[in-house]
Amino acid sequence: MTPQTYWAEHALLDGIVEPGVVIETASDGRIAAVRAGAEDPPVGAVTLRGLTIPGLANAHSHAFHRALRGTVQVGSGTFWTWREIMYGVAARLTPETYFALARAVYAEMALAGITCVGEFHYLHHQPDGTPYADPNAMGEALISAAAEAGIRITLLDTAYLSSGFGAAPDPHQRRFSDGDAHAWAVRASALTDRAHARTGAAIHSVRAVPAEQLATVAEWAHDREAPLHVHLSEQTAENDACLAAYGLTPAGLLAEHGVLGPRTTAVHATHLTPEDIALLGTSGTTICMCPTTERDLADGIGPAKSLDLAGSPLTLGSDSHAVIDLLEEARAMELDERLHTRTRGHWTAARLLRAATADGHASLGWPEAGRLEPGALADFATIALDSVRTVGPPARLAAETAVFAATNADVRHTIVSGRHIVRDGHHQLVPHTPAELAATVSRALGA
C-alpha cells in the first residue's frame, strides 16, 4: 500500500469527537500516526469532511439473502415461510453467480462504511449435495468477491448437517451438508487465510448440528484460535424442540458441549431464560444483534441490555440484508430496547458505535481493527454532517447525529488498509454497483 495522509474534519477518538485529526497510514496498511488539533489539512493530505469513525464491522451476513429484499415483503407469513423462499434462491447459485452477487453486495457494504464482513457461509456444495471439484469453490467465491469489493472478510464456514435434531437434510438443504462434523472439518481445514480474509467456524444452530457433533466444531475453532459463531434461540419453536430432544435450552446445550466462550458469538439470542443470559454472560460469549432482520421476520426483541449487564460484548449484523446499514442496526438496538422497557438512554452513541466497530471486529478475529490509533489497521469511514439528515447539531454531538439521524446514504468515504475504496460516495472498484446488484439479484431470482 502507498502511505497516505488523511485530514479528518472531525474524528471519533476513544469515544470522543475531536476536530482536525490527521491520520497517517503506512505501507503495511496500518495507521502510523494520529494527531488531533490540526486546524487545516497538511500539504498533500486527503480531506475527509464530516465525522470519521473506525470502519464498521458487519458481524453477521448471508450475502445471498440480499436477493430477497422486497420479494419477501409480499403478503404475510412467518420465519418458516420466509425460509422456503430463501431456499429457492440458494438452489440457483453457482460459484460464478455467487461471486458476482457477493461482489455487488460487498460493494454495497463498502458504500455503507463497512470495512469487514462476517460471512456465515453454508452454501457449500452443488444443489444435490455433490461437492464441486474444489470442495470450497463457493467459499472461495466469497473470499474473491470481498477482495474485488475492497473489504475484509471472515469466512465463517458453517456446519449444517441436519434438517432438525438429527433428521436428514431436506432436499433443498443437501448442498449445505458435509454429512458429519468430521467431514465438515476436513473440508474447512483446506481454507487458507489471506491479507484480506480470515477463516472462522460456525454452527448453524442446535437444530442443524446434532449434539454429539457440536464439540467437533468447537474444538476445530479452539485449536486454530478462530472465531466460532452460532445462531441461538432465534425462534421459540427451536427452543421448544431442543427442550424436547435434550431436556436443555439451546444455550444450555451449547454450554454442556463446550461451545460458549470469549471467541464465540451467539447470533440473535432473542428468546432466552435468565439462566441462559447468565451462561452467556459469565462465559464471555459475544452477542450479535441483527435488529433489522429480527423485526423483519417478526422474531422479537432480544434482551440486549440484560446480556450486556451479564458480561456479553455486543456486536451488530445486517444478516438477511433487509437493509445494509450498520448505523440503523446501532440505532435500532437502542430504540428496540426503549420500546421494550419504555425507558430511554440504555447505551451512549459512542458505546453503540463501539459495538459496530471494535467489538464487531474482535468477534470476527480482527482485534487489530476498529480503532483510530497507531498500529491499528487503517480502516475507517466518514459520515457526512451536512446532509438533510445530519445538518444542524453542533459538531460535539457528531456521534449522536451519526447514530440517531444518519443513514448509509450519508457515508461519504470508506478507507481499507489506507486505500480509498469509496470516495465522495462513489465506489472506486465497483463503480456501477446499482447496476451490478440489479443484474445479479435478477439472476438469483431466476428472472
Smallest CA-to-CA distance from 204 within 261, 171, 247, 250 is with 250
Candidate list 157, 178, 319, 410, residue with the active-site label: 319
Angle between helix axes 326-341 and 349-356 (nearest 10 degrees) is: 130
Question: What H or E segment, with its residue span, contains residue 361?
Answer: helix 358-363
C-alpha cell at 106: 460487498
Active site residue 413: no
Query: With 0-12 CB in 10 A as exposed, 13-18 as middle and 19+ as buried, what is 430?
Result: buried
- Upper half-sphere CA count for residue 94 (Cβ side, 13 Å): 5
Distance CA 92, CA 277 (A): 39
Backbone angles phi, psi at 221, to 5 degrees: -65, -40
Burial class (CB in 10 A: 0-12, 13-18, 19+), 284: middle
Please tell me the distance from the alpha carbon of residue 56 to that of residue 74, in angstroms, as a whole number.
31
Residue type at 336?
A: D
Q: Return the bridge partners of 230, or none.
A: 203, 266
Catalytic one among 65, 125, 204, 268?
A: 268
Rounded to whole angstroms, what are the CA distances from 111 to 90, 125, 325, 433?
Answer: 25, 30, 10, 9
Name the region of 428 (left: φ>0; alpha: ψ -120 to 50; beta: rest). Answer: alpha
Phi/psi at 31 (5° precision): -80, 125
Between strands 16-25 and 31-35, the pairing is antiparallel
- On whether the CB atoms of residues 245 and 207 are closer than 8 A, the answer is no
d(CA 72, CA 64): 13
62 close to 120: Cβ distance less than 8 angstroms: yes
Nearest of 175, 97, 61, 73 to residue 442 by alpha carbon: 97
Cα 71 to chain centroid distance, Å, stands at 22
Whether 125 sits among the annotated catalytic residues: the reply is no
Q: How many Cβ atoms are within 10 Å of 426's Cβ, its own excluded?
A: 12
Q: How many residues does the chain have?
A: 447
Active-site annotation, residues = 268, 319
